[in-house]
Amino acid sequence: MTALFLDMPEDRNHLPVWLECVVLSPDLPRLVTELKVIHGVPAHQLSLMDAMFGYSQTVLESGLVSLPPPVLSRLLRQPDLLPKLRDWVLESGGSYWDSIEATDALSSSTQRIVEHVRKSMASKTLMADRRRSLTKGVLLFLAMAASVAIFLVWHRYEVNKISQILAKTYEDNEQLRLDNDLLKQRLAPVPVPPLAPGWGFARREDLATLEGDDAKLTKLSGLALEWGKKQPQNSLELAKRLLEFRQGCSGLLLNPPPLTKPQQVWFAARCGDWASSIEQQLHALESGADFRKALENANSLFVSIAKELTDRAKAPSNSG
């Protein structure tokens, strides 16, 4: 059995499709084990939803190709999230995931090399010291044969890591069989739970039922104030909440609220400005800004947005 990560595509455009196939295949536990040996166990473990960084719905609908490269890399650096991703898309994924056929990610040539290693190690006719010497020689040959792929994909990873991956894989054979049985059970159809409702500007359903620009602008002001209903506790939560509100702005820009023409022009310009301010705050967070100061700036921004909408609703041009 060879290292599965050696078959990982060098082209990052092809990596999401390859990973989708492995996630839905019996080879997933083996890939998780190999990635743990390579990257180790991170000091801070993210939840699957935090690691998705606001892209969970697009992953359910369109697969991993919708993830930005940093988010995809985060999943590979925290491989314990991959089985959770598999269970989640099997339970909640759309038709996209139903169309994926799980495939064996091992190349046939590498598989033949490792089969030779396993037969050599299983031989009962060799004495203990000769068996260790032969195994060392075969593993060295395997490392040399795979060196080209290692240089292209993983930029000069040490040969001893390949040996560690193989040794760990041999020990986990029994666990792989158990995981295969579990995967078959997971493939059975399950009911899809309803998605949680959005908040802020994403919750615009009632706008069309309101009469007059003043009522609609007042409603938008109330949606902006929903920011204060949940205060983030750390930088990651703050970034996630900023992204959610930013997505609400995008929804209103792409599908404007039912306002009169002058108010639509004003709202589109201001909503674009708000979106830019949110992006600046996100950039500051990613650059290491102090969490408390960043939270204070965010709270001030959304209070300002709500007030601006309220003042616009009370303007004389909106009365009557």
Could you tell me the two tokens for 123? 């031989």
pLDDT value, residue 150: 43
- Check if the beta carbon of residue 157 is closer than 8 Å to that of residue 38: yes
pLDDT for 232-277, tens place per residue?
999 999 999 999 999 989 988 898 888 999 898 999 999 999 999 9
pLDDT for 117-136, tens place per residue?
334 434 443 444 555 555 55
Could you tell me the two tokens for 225? 């104030």
Could you tell me the two tokens for 213? 């620009």
Separation of alpha carbons 270 and 265, rounded Å: 9
3-class secondary structure, 293: helix
pLDDT for 143-165, tens place per residue?
455 544 544 455 567 657 766 77
Most confident of 30-39, 48-57, 74-83, 303-312: 303-312
Confidence of residue 37 (pLDDT cuts 50, 70, 90): confident
Separation of alpha carbons 302 and 280, rounded Å: 14
Average the pLDDT over 84-99 and give the result: 89
Confidence of residue 9 (pLDDT cuts 50, 70, 90): confident
Separation of alpha carbons 105 and 70, rounded Å: 23
Q: In terms of pTM, does the model score above 0.75?
A: no
**Domains assigned to the chain:** 4-98 (no CATH), 108-171 (no CATH), 200-318 (1.20.120)
What is the number of alpha carbons within 13 Å of residue 155 lying toward its C-beta? 0
Confidence of residue 166 (pLDDT cuts 50, 70, 90): low
Amino acid at 288: G
pLDDT value, residue 75: 87
Is it the case that residue 176 has pLDDT exceeding 50? yes
From residue 67, alpha-carbon distances to 15, 63, 91 in Å are 11, 8, 19
B/e letters for 118-129, b = 16+ CB within 10 Å, e = fewer, are eeeeeeeeeeee
Confidence of residue 35 (pLDDT cuts 50, 70, 90): confident
Separation of alpha carbons 265 and 253, rounded Å: 11
Residue 210 is classified by DSSP as: S
Separation of alpha carbons 97 and 117, rounded Å: 36
Amino acid at 218: T
Separation of alpha carbons 305 and 161, rounded Å: 54
pLDDT for 214-235, tens place per residue?
998 999 999 999 998 889 999 9
